[in-house]
Amino acid sequence: MTATAFVGGRILTMAAGPEPEVVVVESTRIAAVGDRSILEAWPTATVRDLAGGTLCPGFIDAHNHLSIAALHPRWRDVAGAASLEGLLDEIRRQAVAEPDTAWIRVCGWNEGPIAAEHQGVHPTRTDLDGLGLDRPILVAHYSLHQGVVCSSGLDELGIGRTTAAPQGGEIVRDAAGLPTGLLIERAWGGAHGESLAAYAEPERWGEHIVARAHQLLSQGITAVHDAACPPAAEAVYRRLATAGVLPISVVMMPHAPALLHNDLGPRLGGPPTGEGDQQLRVGAAKLFADGGTSIALDVTMQGKVLRFGTTMDDMAEHLLAASRRGFRVAVHAMGNVGVQRTIEAFAAAASESPDDEHRFRIEHAGIASPAQARELAALGAVAVVQPGFVDHVGRQSGGITFDEHAWLPFRDLAEAGVTLAASSDDPCAPFPPLWCAARGADRTTSEGLRFEAEQAVDFEAWLRAYTSGSALAGGQEGERGAIVPGLRADLVILEGALVPTPPPRVVETWVAGVPVFRTEAPG
């Protein structure tokens, strides 16, 4: 059996002990780690010179919506539309590109530039109706937490003047009480679901997932946790895994059929957390404590109370139900109210079964206090955070700071003893881990704005968060996330210093002992 010996660079094992000089990979596993003397036991090993680069475990993106991100190439991305007219143009192009879908869907809507043109007013159903297209239209927000729907779409969804919004959602209305088309949080779930129906054909959906997975591999990502996997997406992943064509490892986090809902229904009777193998495994059940754009806040700013946002009031109940059925749980909590409710729900589950290893996951923990960080640490929770959010959250925060709560409180969490798992939230934010890690390390947006710099975490700590931290979040610490004999040889080779500016780059990615991506040699 051929073996490969990696030498000649730094080796970040993400495990205790000194940095080794040599790593030997045999078949799909790490076979040996140590100083040069171990090479004597592997005289026929192929030597791979790292040429001064760094060898790391493959990156694990612990919160990546791969199954939905995979479909994005099918939709015009309107992120760059600087005006309403530009947005409408993109919708026209989408209608032509996909003439047979029941709904016309565009993605990546970012209220910024268009709202600026319209003094903060979002596009409305009337704007979309003016296109005169033959099908319902959905303009999906980049966050996947809201969207704008045209009149025929609202009709199809049964949303009218007297329709009550679901708990955890908002149907925005004009002065006359008519829906404007803007549907927020749970109120947009129906439009999301209807507009996806045309893309749910398993074979083609699977092809998109495979294509997206290859892009992830090119950035060093060898495993993802799909952070909201409805039953239909689970079925597609199972198909790919059975056929042996899933290029990266996936942890599927079961989610209700309707986006942002917490009732997993019959899924709780299916395979629980941990079922599966190293290529495809069931992860924690995914629940929501608050909104994603309508985050639930209760904070003070220079003593003034600021309280708003959307909570998902059924989270605690469904968390206990999932926990009782043998699922670990992961809760989306962006605002400090969401974080607090999550802490309380974790505590309730822990007291109900104190002997279980719960490995609670809090997703985002976007705005939290040091006291909340300590409570999460006491519960043994892992915080699945997004260093890349420094870019867009920093831009949107407008420099506002709170008295007791920090935005993206990475340092507070780490100092409290909470393990950080790193992730992108792709497609809601860019996925390249080294770019994200750089944002989390320098706390600087693309425009150069420093954003709560005291919450910075250093670059190498982000590499740990992307490997051993994420493995812990996924219950995979026995199989990946470190360079330790016996673990899977998912590896990444980096070139350049481990600093945020400029960050290193991925030159090679290995999956299960096989190189699957290599950059073109320069020049």
Residues that bind Zn ion (CB under 5 A): 227, 425
Shortest separation between residue 292's beta carbon and Zn ion, angstroms:
7
Shortest separation between residue 364's beta carbon and Zn ion, angstroms:
8
Q: Are 219 and 434 in contact (CB under 8 A)?
A: yes
Candidates 213, 215, 272; CA nearest to 240 is 213
Shortest separation between residue 149's beta carbon and Zn ion, angstroms:
21
Shortest separation between residue 65's beta carbon and Zn ion, angstroms:
6
Rg for the chain, CA atoms, rounded: 23
Q: Are strands 382-385 and 419-422 parallel, antiparallel or unpaired?
A: parallel
- Measured from the CB atom, the residue of 65 and 135 that comes closer to Zn ion is 65
Structure tokens at 388: 């890349």
- Measured from the CB atom, the residue of 45 and 227 that comes closer to Zn ion is 227
- Measured from the CB atom, the residue of 229 and 413 that comes closer to Zn ion is 229
- Measured from the CB atom, the residue of 127 and 363 that comes closer to Zn ion is 363
- Report DSSP state, residue 39: G
Q: What angle do CA 281, 469, 314 make, to 5 degrees?
A: 65
Candidates 148, 154, 172; CA nearest to 90 is 148
> Helices 231-242 and 202-217, interaxial angle, to 10°?
70
Strand ranges inside 68-195, DSSP E: 104-109, 137-141, 146-149, 169-173, 179-185
Shortest separation between residue 97's beta carbon and Zn ion, angstroms:
26
Shortest separation between residue 357's beta carbon and Zn ion, angstroms:
24
- Measured from the CB atom, the residue of 4 and 262 that comes closer to Zn ion is 262
Shortest separation between residue 423's beta carbon and Zn ion, angstroms:
8
- Measured from the CB atom, the residue of 229 and 236 that comes closer to Zn ion is 229
Q: What angle do CA 422, 491, 496 make, to 5 degrees?
A: 80
CB nearest Zn ion: which residue?
A: 425
- Measured from the CB atom, the residue of 81 and 287 that comes closer to Zn ion is 287
Q: How many residues does the chain have?
A: 523
Alpha-carbon distance values, 267 to 149, 247, 271, 314, 413 (Å): 30, 26, 8, 17, 32
